Amino acid sequence: MVYSLPEEVLEHVFSFIVSDKDRNVVSLVCKSWYEMERWCRRRIFVGNCYAVSPSIMIRRFPEVRCVELKGKPHFADFNLVPEGWGGYACSWIEEMSKAYPWLEEIRLKRMVVTDESLELISTSFKNFRVLVLSSCEGFSTDGLSAIAANCRNLRVLDLQESEVMDLSGHWLSHFPETFTSIESLNMSCLGSEVSFSALERLVARSPNLKTLRLNRSVPLGKLSTLLHLAPQLVELGTGAYSSGIRSDVYSSLSKAFLGCKEIKGLSGFWDVDLSYLPAFYSVCSRLTTLNLSYATIKSPDITKVISQCPNLQRLWVLDHIEDSGLNALALSCKNLQELRVFPSDMYAADANVTLTEQGLVSVSQGCTKLQSVLYFCHQMSNSALITIAKNRPNLTCFRLCIIEPRTPDYLTHEPLDIGFGAIVKHCKNLNRLSLSGLLTDRVFEYIGVHAKKLDMLSIAFAGDSDLGLHYVLSGCKSLKKLEIRDCPFGDTALLANVAKLATMRSLWMSSCAVSIGACKILSQKMPMLNVEVIDENGTLDSKLDSCLVEKLYVYRTVAGPRSDMPGYIWTMDRDSSSRI
Amino acid sequence: MDLINFEATELRLGLPGSSTDEPEIKSTTSPVNTNKRSSPEMDSNVSDENGSSRSPPPTKAQVVGWPPVRSYRKNILQGRKSDQPEMGSGMYVKVSMDGAPYLRKVDLKVYKSYGELLKGLQEMFKCIIGLYSEREGYKSEHAPTYEDKDGDWMLLGDVPWEMFITSCKRLRIMKSCEVIES
């Protein structure tokens, strides 16, 4: 006789299980748990919007409140994915508007969203609260007007790094005077001026506003007004951080920052005028996040700022910080967890900045809680990488970009294989890795052997042969996302590891050595994968099996081939149907 | 990589024996260190300005999507560079026109005067734009305005062209009636 808990009890227990992985496991226990779980799942994350269809999701999970979708491949960020590729949110939003009247949160990343969809969102979901459009495009400020006008309970509107057709700043005025619920507003990506009086009134009547990221066009002179109206702010993104020669701007700004006792994060700082920097010193001791990656602040000014932020956990900065600034960081910021150093000049080899591998070594030594690194630099050595690896075995994300492709160890002129090998060997919990510099197949052997927790790997201008790819696909047990460009990897490795591809979210290969023949074989062997060949120039001859493909995107799916592919994408289905 | 002095055998514009500041156009497939700065849109390779005492190193091919920096970030830094006049670097500013769904971009460096700029904009948006004159008012339906460094919106034409291009952050072609009212 099987004894089981009553449904209500199970449901209550399940409500504590939040992570998708755990929920998926729960649903596999038995049929009744599967049924129970699917009715009470409230949050869905779809890492690839083409892996599943809206109807499949809706059929299985009828009571969802929060949906998160991702569209284009990551390399779309660097213009490697052509226009019109896909990632349309339209069909998702349409179907959800009918099936989920109680939907509260939509988060989209790298998707194409139209004004019509935004309008549909604003009118379909009565309790809509959170809209995050991260690196999205396809909509204009008209769509934002609809959201502002209709979403009475909106808490979060975050347009992080989206490309918005900026028709006017008047969209903000569409928030009715009775609207007071906003908690987080990020409009930093917008180009045009918003109506300042509308912004001012909105901030004044929003007591729960905790995050406010302004766009560049909000002048510094107006920032103090806003800060006085919202002293409860926790995260602030300034507009342009400079002004004409008016001393009262400085003093009122300084006073305003003094009044903000809750600020923990700062960003913005476009067009920095150094003389205004001290105005925010009063908040530095509380700062946990600081994003100065749009600010040309050089040593010693940047060092002065950093040495006042002992509680800093996350720092994004330009390479103007130089080794000296990073040394100061290592001394002052013992709680640092994440460091991102962006290049100020992407094309000059000996740019006017003294940022070398030494800066990163210092930080790896001084900041014992460091977990996540993104570092653009011009030179690196194996010994530095080995030191970093030994200093910081707790690294979980290591992304190094040596700006010149195939740059060897500048001391020994050797490849950087053993350096990166040390990283994967010592950092046992590494889940994200980006490689650069001169690398042979050897580094991939190390990665395949050691990087057992690696979830995402980015490779560029590396390797000697198919063996490199084979090591990765056969060795990295946890690998879900693999993106490769300009490497001599081809058919042999791909076809030897077809089963692996079904355990991954996606594989991107561009300017490699994969042939159309191999793509056909892959498609035939693995019906649960969509094998999409991008042929922008129209030079692909699909009848010639040895013809190399320009760009390849392979992903697992339960939704079959997608119906919105542009003409320049080749798939087996299209090929065979055109022959009939 | 060795930098071999090609000076003796280089093909140049100009008389033999004269040093030249003119840009050389070379293309190479192997990436090499260089001091070149140029806009990411450029396909051809233009060598560095300081070709005076030593021969300029072979120029680097611009690789699409490398280094892996997002366009948004690249544009911000590019915009900053346009403050300093540089060879080969475009001074791209956004242009919006009231009523048009998409914005465009123009390279201000391509033009030598307001007249040329207006002509270019008219071509782009297929409209007539006129400069305002105290006496005659607006000569057309549309008025060109620009946002300057301080964030103020200014009517085109008051300051000298050189001053204008260094302070112009973006352009907006407004409907003349709106300009008068505001």
Report the relative pairing of strands A432-434 and A397-402 from DSSP bridges: parallel
What is d(CA A27, CA A30) in angstroms, rounded to the nearest whole number?
Answer: 7
CB contact A270 to B (< 8 Å) = yes
Are residues B77 and A345, on separate chains, in Cβ contact within 8 Å? Answer: yes
Nearest Cα of chain B lies from the Cα of A68 at a distance, in angstroms, of 22
Q: How much is the pLDDT for B12?
A: 53
* CB atoms B64 and A79 under 8 Å: yes
pLDDT of residue B61: 56
B138 CA to chain A: closest CA distance, Å?
23
Residues in chain A: 580
Nearest Cβ partner for B69 among A192, A244, A343: A343
The pLDDT value recorded for residue B60 is 52
| Radius of gyration over every alpha carbon of chain A, rounded to an integer in angstroms | 25
Higher pLDDT, B168 or A470: A470
Q: State what percent of residues in chain A have pLDDT above 70.
A: 97
A528 at B interface, C-beta within 8 A: no
Buried residues in B121-142 as b, exposed as e (16+ CB within 10 A): bbeebeeebbbbeeeeebeeeb
Least CB-CB distance to B68: which of A78, A161, A270?
A78
Mean pLDDT of A324-349: 91
Bridge partners (DSSP) of residue B170 are B94, B147
How much is the average pLDDT of A513-535?
A: 96
**Chain A interface disruption, residue of B36, B66, B89, B98, most A CBs within 10 A:** B66
Is A342 within 8 Å of B37 when comparing Cβ atoms?
no
| Residue B9 pLDDT level (bands cut at 50, 70, 90) | low
pLDDT in tens, A289-329: 999 999 989 888 999 999 999 999 999 999 999 999 999 99
Which residues of chain A have a CB within 8 Å of the CB of B77?
344-346
The Cα A83–Cα A98 span in angstroms is 30
Q: Which of B35, B66, B151 is nearest residue A348 as measured by Cβ atoms?
A: B35
What is the Cα–Cα distance from A412 to A379, expressed in whole angstroms?
12
- Per-residue pLDDT at A579 exceeds 60: no
Cβ of B77 and A346 within 8 Å?
Answer: yes
- A537 part of contact set with chain B, CB < 8 Å: no
pLDDT at B48: 37
Shortest Cα distance, chain B CAs vs residue A472, angstroms: 22
Which chain A residue lies closest to B47 (C-alpha atoms)?
A: A348
- Does the pLDDT value for residue B179 go beyond 80? no
Residue from A427, A435, A429 nearest A400 by CA: A435
Give the residue on B whose Cα is nearest the Cα of A435. Answer: B68
Report, as an integer, the average pLDDT of B149-153: 83
Inter-chain residue contact A346 with B76, CB threshold 8 Å: no
pLDDT at A245 (0 to 100): 57
For residue A349, the distance in angstroms to the closest alpha carbon of chain B comes to: 5
The answer to whether A349 contacts B80, with C-beta atoms less than 8 Å apart, is: no
What tokens appear for B9 in the block? 């055998």
Chain segment A208-242, per-residue pLDDT in tens: 999 999 999 898 889 999 999 999 999 999 998 98
**pLDDT of amino acid A402:** 96
Q: Of A20-29, A299-308, A571-580, B105-114, where does mean pLDDT reach its minimum?
A: A571-580
Q: Which tens digits make up the pLDDT trace of A118-172?
A: 999 999 999 999 999 999 999 999 999 999 999 999 999 999 999 999 878 799 9
Q: Nearest-CA distance from A111 to chain B in Å?
A: 16
Residue A220 CB contacts under 8 Å (≥ 6 apart), including other chains:
A238, A239, A240, A241, A242, A243, A249, A253, A276
Nearest CB partner across the interface for A77, out of B38, B70, B150: B70
Token pair 């007249």 is at which residue?
A: B115
> In B, which residues are within 8 Å of A401 by CB distance?
67-68
Residues of A in contact with B73 (CB under 8 A): 293-294, 342
A151-155, A433-437, A500-504, A536-540: least confidently modelled range:
A536-540
Can you say how many angstroms the Cα of residue A184 is from the centroid of all Cα atoms in its chain? 19
Interchain contact A460–B (C-beta under 8 A): yes
Task: Name every chain B residue with its beta carbon within 8 A of the beta carbon of A163.
Answer: 72
pLDDT value of residue B5: 47
pLDDT bucket at B53, cuts 50 / 70 / 90: very low
Name the minimum distance, in Å, from the CA of B15 to any CA of chain A.
30
Express each pLDDT in B68-107 by its tens digit.
Answer: 999 888 877 766 554 444 444 568 899 998 888 888 888 8
Does B58 sit behind a cis peptide bond, omega within 30 degrees of 0 on the bond before it? no
Task: Using an 8 Å CB-CB cutoff, list chain B residues near A271.
Answer: 149
Interchain CB distance below 8 Å, A293 and B73: yes
Give the single-character DSSP code of A319: G
Of B74, B150, B153, the CB nearest to A346: B74
d(CA A495, CA A522): 7
Q: For residue B43, what pLDDT is reported?
A: 34
Strand partners of residue A236: A212, A266
Contact between chains at A167 and B38 (C-beta distance less than 8 A):
no
Do A319 and A376 touch, CB atoms closer than 8 A? Answer: yes
Q: Between A441-450 and A466-475, two packed helices, what is the crossing angle to 10 degrees?
A: 10
Query: Contacts of residue A344 in chain B, CB cutoff 8 Å?
Result: 77
Nearest Cα neighbor of B127 from B136, B138, B108, B140 is B140
Q: A175 is written with which tokens?
A: 């928030």
Chain A residues close to B96, C-beta within 8 Å: 166-167, 192
Among A79, A114, A189, A246, which would you mutate to test the B interface (most chain B Cβ atoms within 10 Å of its Cβ)? A79
Mutate to test the interface with B, among A72, A78, A246 (most CBs of B within 10 A): A78
User: What pTM did the predictor assign?
Assistant: 0.80
| CA distances in angstroms from B157 to A291, A435, B96, B131, listed in the order given | 37, 51, 18, 7
Mean pLDDT of chain A: 94
pLDDT in tens, A466-483: 999 999 999 999 999 999
Alpha helices in A394-440 (DSSP H): 417-426
pLDDT at B36 over 60: no
| Confidence label for A39 from pLDDT (cuts 50, 70 and 90) | very high
Question: What pLDDT, on a 0 to 100 scale, did the predictor assign at position B75?
Answer: 79
Q: What is the pLDDT of residues A73-93, one digit of tens each?
A: 999 999 999 999 999 999 999
Query: Is the backbone of residue B65 left (phi > 0), alpha (psi -120 to 50) or beta?
Result: left
Residue B11 reports pLDDT greater than 60: no
CA distance A531 to A543: 17
Mean pLDDT in residue range A47-73: 97
Mean pLDDT of A358-375: 98
> At a CB cut-off of 8 Å and minimum separation 6, what does A562 contact?
A50, A86, A530
Indicate whether B13 pLDDT > 70.
no
What percentage of residues in chain B have a pLDDT greater than 90?
A: 4
Model pLDDT, residue A305: 96
Residue-wise pLDDT for A439-460, tens only, equals: 999 999 999 999 999 999 999 9
Give chain B's contact residues with A (Cβ, < 8 Å): 31, 33-38, 60, 62-74, 76-77, 80, 94, 96, 101-103, 147, 149-151, 153, 170
Nearest to B71 among A79, A219, A403 (CB): A79
Of A135, A217, A405, the CB nearest to B66: A405
Band of pLDDT at residue B40, cut at 50, 70 and 90:
very low
Q: How confident is the model at residue B44 (pLDDT cuts 50, 70, 90)?
A: very low
Report yes or no: A501 and A554 within 8 Å, Cβ to Cβ: yes
pLDDT at A3 over 90: no
The predicted structure's pLDDT at residue B67: 92
Residue A552 predicted with pLDDT over 70: yes
Establish if A406 touches chain B: CB-CB under 8 angstroms.
yes
- pLDDT class for A540, splitting at 50, 70, 90? confident
**pLDDT grade, residue A98 (50/70/90)?**
very high
Q: Which residues pair with A401 in a beta bridge?
A: A376
**CA–CA distance, B89 with A407 (Å, rounded to integer):** 26
Least confident piece of the model among A56-60, A84-88, A553-557, B139-143: B139-143
Cβ within 8 Å, pair A349-B101: no
Sign of CA dihedral A394, B70, A73, A487: negative
For residues A313 and A343, give the distance between their C-alpha atoms in angstroms, rounded to a whole number.
Answer: 21
Mean pLDDT of A192-220: 93
Average pLDDT (A1-23) is 83
CB contact under 8 A, A167 and B96: yes
User: Does the pLDDT at position A9 exceed 60?
Assistant: yes
Stretch A528-547: mean pLDDT, rounded? Answer: 92
Residue A4 has pLDDT above 80, yes or no: no
Number of inter-chain CB pairs under 8 A, A vs B = 90
